[in-house]
C-alpha cells in the first residue's frame, strides 16, 4: 500500500524563524511529489517535484526531492503569521494514477 509520512505533526515557531518540514514516501511507480498549503479550506498547490536534487523556489518557500532516500523537505525562511497552515505532502503514483497524502504538518507562526 502506498504511504506518505510527514514530520513533525505540528510545529510552533515565532515570526522570523526558519522551518523545515519533512516528507517521506513509499509508493509504487513513483512519479512526482507535491506540496500543498491548507489554511481553512481547500489545499492550494505549492510545488511539484519530479527530479532529484533540483530545488524549487517560490519566495520564502523552497523544496527539494531525494528520490534515492525517498523523501522531500519544504523550507520556509523568515516565517510570517500568514504562513500558519497545514502543509500537506502528496506522492503521485503512476500505477495508481492518484495522489496519496500524508497527514500534514500543522505550522503555527506566532507574532
Partner 1 sequence: DTAVSQTPKYLVTQMGNDKSIKCEQNLGHDTMYWYKQDSKKFLKIMFSYNNKELIINETVPNRFSPKSPDKAHLNLHINSLELGDSAVYFCASSRDYGSTEAFFGQGTRLTVV
Residues whose CB falls within 8 Å of the CB of residue 108, separated by 6 or more in sequence, listed in order: 10, 11, 12, 13, 84
CB-nearer residue toward partner 1: 20 or 103? 103
- Minimum CB–partner distance for residue 16 and partner 1 (Å): 26
Query: CB–CB of 92/32 below 8 Å?
Result: yes
Q: Which of 23, 100, 107, 109 lies at the binding interface for partner 1 (CB under 8 A)? A: 100
Q: Which of 21, 76, 79, 104 lies at the binding interface for partner 1 (CB under 8 A)? A: 104
Q: Is 101 in the site for partner 1 (CB under 8 A)?
A: yes
Q: Is 45 in the site for partner 1 (CB under 8 A)?
A: yes
Burial class (CB in 10 A: 0-12, 13-18, 19+), 2: middle
Q: d(Cα 50, Cα 95) in Å, to the nearest integer?
A: 15
Residues of the shown chain interacting with partner 1 in the complex, contacts defined by CB under 8 A:
31-32, 34, 36, 38, 41-45, 48, 86, 88, 90, 92-94, 96-101, 103-104, 106
Amino acid at each position: 500500500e502506498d504511504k506518505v509520512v510527514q514530520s513533525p505533526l505540528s510545529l510552533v515557531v515565532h515570526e522570523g524563524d526558519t522551518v523545515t518540514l519533512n516528507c517521506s514516501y513509499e509508493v509504487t511507480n513513483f512519479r512526482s511529489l507535491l506540496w500543498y498549503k491548507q489554511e481553512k479550506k481547500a489545499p492550494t498547490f505549492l510545488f511539484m517535484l519530479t527530479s532529484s536534487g533540483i530545488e524549487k523556489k517560490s519566495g520564502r518557500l523552497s523544496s527539494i526531492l531525494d528520490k534515492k532516500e525517498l523523501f522531500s523537505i519544504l523550507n520556509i525562511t523568515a516565517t510570517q503569521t500568514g504562513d500558519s497552515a497545514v502543509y500537506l505532502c502528496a506522492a503521485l503514483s503512476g500505477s495508481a494514477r492518484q495522489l496519496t497524502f500524508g497527514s500534514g504538518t500543522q505550522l503555527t507562526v506566532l507574532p
